[in-house]
Amino acid sequence: MAVGKAGERKLLTGKCIIVGVTGGIAAYKSAELVRGLVKEGADVHVIMTAAAQEFITPLTLQTLSRNPVITDMFAPPSRWEVEHVALADRADLLVIAPATANIIGKIAAGIADDMLTTTVMAMTGPVLLAPAMNVHMYENPVVQRNLRLLQELGYHIVEPEEGPLACGYSGKGRMAPVEKIIARCREILTGGDLQGLSLLITAGPTREYIDPVRFISNPSSGRMGYALAERAAQRGAEVILVTGPVALAPPAGVKVVQVESALEMQAAVEEYFPAVQAVIMAAAVGDYRPAVKEEKKIKKEKDEVVLRLVKNPDILAGLGEKKGDKVLVGFAAETHQLAEYARRKLREKKADLIVANDITNPGSGFGTLTNAVRLFYADGREEELPLMKKEDVAEVILDRVLELLKSRKVG
C-alpha cells in the first residue's frame, strides 16, 4: 500500500472511529492522531481515561474531533451508562493511542471499570492498540504475554518504535508515528489492498546436515522474509511462509511451514506454488549440501576430514521454468558487481524482479534491521531505494508485486 500517497484521498469518509486515550506521556500525540483521522474524513469520538486528562485536556481533543469528549462513566448526562454500548455499536474501529501497560493488562484480563474499558468490552468491530511505555515495561514478560494474548484474540497492534524515551531511557517503547497508526486504521477499515491475493514467501537460512548434529548454514536472520509475510497479511493477502530455522515469532495471520534443508524448502514451495499468484524468495538457500549425510555422529578419530558437497536445486529457477502468469521475486546478496549479477539472476531464474543489496554496505544484508536495495525488473527498469527499515522495504516490494500483477492482467 502506498503509505502517504493514499492520504491524499479521503479514505475514511463515513467511518466512525473511537479514539481511546490513556495516561502516558505520548498522550499529547493523540491530538495529531485525532486531527489526522478527521482530515481523512472520519467521524471521531474521543474517550479519555482519568489519567489521560493529566496529560492533555479534553477541550483540545473536543475541538479537534468536533465531538464531545467522553471522560467519565458516571458524570451527567447519565445516558452515558448505555452510551458506551451505543458508541461501540456505531463505531467501525476503536483505536487506543497511546495504550499504556495498564490498559493492555486490563483488556487482556477482561476488566471493564471505566468508560474506555467498558467500550472496549462492548466492541464487536476491530480494536487497534498503539502501545507506548518505558522500554523495561514494554519488555516485561507480563506485558508481552498480554500483547500476544490480545493479538491471538484478534486485536490489532501497531508496535512501538525504538528511540529515546521520555523517561530518559532509550529502547523500544516510543509510540508508533501517527502516520503509521493512521495507515493501519486505513488498512483495517478498507480491507487492505492485497485482499484476494495468495502469496508464497520464503525466509531464513537452510541447514544442510553433515551428520545428525552438524550442519552447514548461513547467518540469515529471516527478518526480511518475516517482514514481507507480516505486512502482506496485514494488507489482506493470504500468506504461506516457508521458513528455515530462525529466532523470530511467527507473524500473525500467516500460515507457517517450517523446513530445514534446501530440499525440504523446495518440496514445500512446489507444494504451495500452484495455489498462489506470486512468490517472493527471500530465503538464503544453501547452494550446496553434503553429498552424504552420515547417519551417526562423526567421531573425531581422523586428523583430516574431506567433505564432498553437491549442488542444491535452484528453487527459484525451477519455478521460473513453469511460472505461467505468476510473479516471481528473488533476492541477490552481492559483495561486488551488483547490477551485473542481479541482471544475470533475473535472466537465469526467469524472475520478474530481483531485489539486490550490497552486503558490504553498513546497514544492509544479513542480520541487520535495515536494508538499502536496488530493484531490477525483467523489462530492464531499475529502481534504487534509500536505506530503510526492512518493514518499509517490505511495503515497497509488496507495492511492486501488486503493480506487476495488475499490469499482467491489463497486458
For the annotated catalytic residues, the residue numbers are: 167
Q: What's the min distance (Å) between Cβ of 256 and ligand CTP?
A: 17
**48 φ, ψ (degrees, to nearest 5):** -115, 140
Q: Which of 22, 312, 370, 371 lies at the binding interface for ligand CTP (CB under 6 A)?
A: 312
70 binds ligand CTP (CB under 6 A): no
- Angle among Cα 368, 371, 326 to the nearest 5 degrees reads 115
Shortest distance, CB of residue 25 to ligand CTP, whole angstroms? 43
| Least CB distance to ligand CTP at residue 218 (A) | 9
∠ Cα 43 28 127 (to 5°): 45
Binding of residue 352 to ligand CTP (CB under 6 A): no
Residue 9 phi, psi dihedral angles, 5° rounding: -95, 150
All cell numbers assigned to 259: 523446513
Closest approach of Cβ 315 to ligand CTP, in Å?
3
Tallying the residues shown for the chain, one arrives at 411
Footprint of ligand CTP on 258-287 (CB under 6 A): 262, 281, 283, 285, 287
**How is 39-56 classified by DSSP, letter by letter?**
HTT-EEEEEE-TTGGGTS
Nearest to 237 by CA among 276, 281, 282, 189: 276
- Does residue 393 belong to the site contacting ligand CTP (CB under 6 A)? no
Position among 83, 187, 314, 391 found at the interface with ligand CTP (CB under 6 A): 314
Full DSSP string of 378-391: TTS-EEE--SEEHH
Q: Under the criterion CB under 6 A, does residue 220 sit at the interface with ligand CTP?
A: no
Q: Is 181 in the site for ligand CTP (CB under 6 A)?
A: no
Least distance CB 347 / ligand CTP (angstroms): 12
| Residue 173 lies near ligand CTP (rule: CB under 6 A) | no
Q: Which of 316, 338, 375, 402 binds ligand CTP (CB under 6 A)?
A: 316
Q: Does 226 bind ligand CTP (CB under 6 A)?
A: no
Burial grade of 163 (CB within 10 A; 0-12, 13-18, 19 or more):
exposed
> Would you count residue 69 as binding ligand CTP (CB under 6 A)?
no
Distance CA 180, CA 156 (A): 13
What letter represents residue 166's amino acid?
A
378 near ligand CTP, judged by CB under 6 A:
no
Query: Closest by alpha carbon to 368, among 341, 389, 340?
Result: 389
Site for ligand CTP contains 333 (CB under 6 A): yes
Contact residues for ligand CTP, defined by CB under 6 A: 262, 281, 283, 285, 287, 312, 314-316, 330-333, 341, 345
